[in-house]
Amino acid sequence: MNINGSEKLASLKNKKVEKILDEYITLLKPASVTILNDSEKDQEYIKQLAVKNNEEKPLKMEGHTIHYDSPKDQGRDLVNTRVLVKPGVQLGKAIKTTDREEGLKEVFEIMDGIMEGKEMLVKFYCLGPHNSKFSLPAMQITDSAYVLHSEDILYRQGFDMFKELDDFFLFVHSAGKLENGVCVDIDKRRVYMDLDEERVFTVNNQYAGNSVGLKKLALRLAISKANKEDWLCEHMFLMGAKRKGRITYFTGAFPSACGKTSTAMIPGQSIIGDDIAYIRPDEEGYARGVNVEQGIFGIIADVNPKDDPLIYKTLTSPREIIFSNVLVQEDIPYWLNMGKDLPSEGTNFIGKWKKGMTVDGKEVLAAHKNARFCLRISELENVDENLHNPEGVRIRGFIYGGRDSDTNPPLLQSLSWAHGVYIGASVESETTAAALGKEGVRKHNPMSNVEFLVVPLGVYIENHLKFGEGLDVPPLIFSTNYFLKEDGEFLNAKTDKKVWLMWMEGRVHEEFGALETPIGFIPKYEDLKKLFEMVFSKAYTKNNYEEQFSIKTGKLLERLDRIEEIYKVEEDIPQMFHDHLEQQRERLKDAQKKLGDVISPFKFE
């Protein structure tokens, strides 16, 4: 077969790449093959091809395009996403697996001839900064120009890394049969991960969470690799907190709807990444981290000029952005809760749309709740200068965010690294009525990474413990909960998280004291009072403090019981986790006996 760009392939002198291409050309049977390098010319070719193939459509503003997924392909496919394992391998209750040989046979049968009549696109990327100990090369094969356009925005180019290189991740994707630019055979959608050969097969899908190999699919391969090599691959943002003329770096893991993006984008601070971090020890005994990506594939619902001014300004000005599954009228994009009235008709993910339309008895919203935007972080005004630093940045704090209305205080510091790992492994997220139709259901999500684990949970927790123990100066570990309520009203303003961050930053530099409680350290009232005055010029009363930071021993003991039940069915959980759970239970029972079900924070002074 004639290969467009064969001279580029020859310049790599990479026998493994050539063998892979021969194998998948034979399997997928494309009409043509195009090899792409890092040049602006090749990137422009992909952008134009995405429009030509009807996968994207230009919008009114320069650089903006719209992409639509099938109404049946609007989120990560948790049913057909599987880890391929050999007989006898057990990964744990939370990880969906399929026998490796059976899974390969099935997916190869689905993939046989799936690119007939289509153009196979082949491109090379770098996960992490260039020329770095964090760098991981990745090869992408796809028939979707939209997938490559997304990856060109989200990831660093990596063609030159493949010169005679034989250790890299491989991603093979096909959108399959398309009608009007949208996938048809969703019932044959598969996302299979072969850890043995560090490759992923994903077919009959377009939604980026399923199709863009370098995102959550690469996260899984990297988690496997990290757990073999004693570093951490985490579902975490990476940002800089600015105070007193210095910058202190934090990383954080939050389940959906718990404040992850808004924390990473707190006004006045800087952002390196909003989603995935690689973390390694440095020569001086600190943790250092990088953003695996250079872009953001973010949920656009609720982005408005009041709550998210920086992102909103970026999304409404000329630059390269892919919108997906939003409403479009007169080539202008609109999304849910964007801070202004939406048109009553237009085009969205179901086609022509009018307000009040129903499908299968359910009203169709103007835009999908999981509608997205894709842009480069460098387009944001608050981008950190170390975005591409091959050395990464020194991480001084981990933040684990959860969501509950009646139990955890809004801010807490762990008693130790091991206690912090316990806190991270116990993260819960409370569902809302808007999301699932039933409010108050707690979903356990250790380190906010459970959907992406490809190693047993016990191994994952043990590696976290070892990582911190191997550092001379491990990051401090904090937890947040922005969602406490009283009589149905939130006890915190959305903006209060900036004060919580400033307190964490001060704790790193030993500038604030703290009160020791049965569940960890909490701020002192006087420190928060000064911070609220400094940051917002507003009063923070003793009543505010008492409402937010009282220790609810009864509710916390109930939570411990829930976590204990969950971990009873998991094998080989480190004893240290169980020790911290039991120690916390004893501390809470003792406090409850002495001081009651709800203990004022002033009682711990």
Condensed to tens digits (0 to 9), the pLDDT of residues 5-41 reads 999 999 999 999 999 999 999 999 999 999 999 999 9
**pLDDT given for residue 440 in this prediction:** 61
Active site residue 183: no
Of the residues 126, 233, 258, 374, only one is catalytic, namely 258
Mean pLDDT of the chain: 94
**pLDDT given for residue 571 in this prediction:** 83
The contacts of residue 146 (CB under 8 Å, 6+ apart) are 50, 53, 55, 56, 67, 206, 322
Where do you find CATH 2.170.8.10 in the chain? Answer: 297-379
CATH topology of domain 297-379: Phosphoenolpyruvate Carboxykinase; domain 2 (2.170.8)
- 3-56+74-229 carries CATH number 3.40.449.10: yes
Where do you find CATH 3.90.228.20 in the chain? Answer: 233-293+387-604
Mean pLDDT, rounded, for 197-216: 94
**pLDDT given for residue 93 in this prediction:** 78
**pLDDT given for residue 433 in this prediction:** 39
Does the pLDDT at position 548 exceed 90? Answer: yes
Range with the poorest average pLDDT among 99-108, 306-315, 378-387, 412-421: 306-315
Tokens 């356009």 sit at which residue?
149
Q: Which region holds residue 212: left if phi is over 0, alpha if psi is between -120 and 50, else beta?
A: beta
Is residue 197 classed exposed, middle or buried when 0-12, 13-18 and 19+ CB atoms within 10 A define those classes? exposed
The contacts of residue 582 (CB under 8 Å, 6+ apart) are none
DSSP assigned state of 383: B
Return the CATH architecture of domain 233-293+387-604.
Alpha-Beta Complex (3.90)
C-beta of residue 111 within 8 angstroms of C-beta of residue 120: no
User: Does residue 442 or residue 142 have the better pLDDT?
Assistant: 142
Q: Which region holds residue 250: left if phi is over 0, alpha if psi is between -120 and 50, else beta?
A: beta
> pLDDT band for position 437 (50/70/90)?
very low
Mean pLDDT, rounded, for 324-344: 97
Helix (H, G, I), strand (E, B) or coil at 452: helix
* Nearest Cα to Cα of residue 84 among 68, 96, 97: 97
pLDDT tens figures, 355-367: 999 998 999 999 9
Where do you find CATH 3.40.449.10 in the chain? Answer: 3-56+74-229
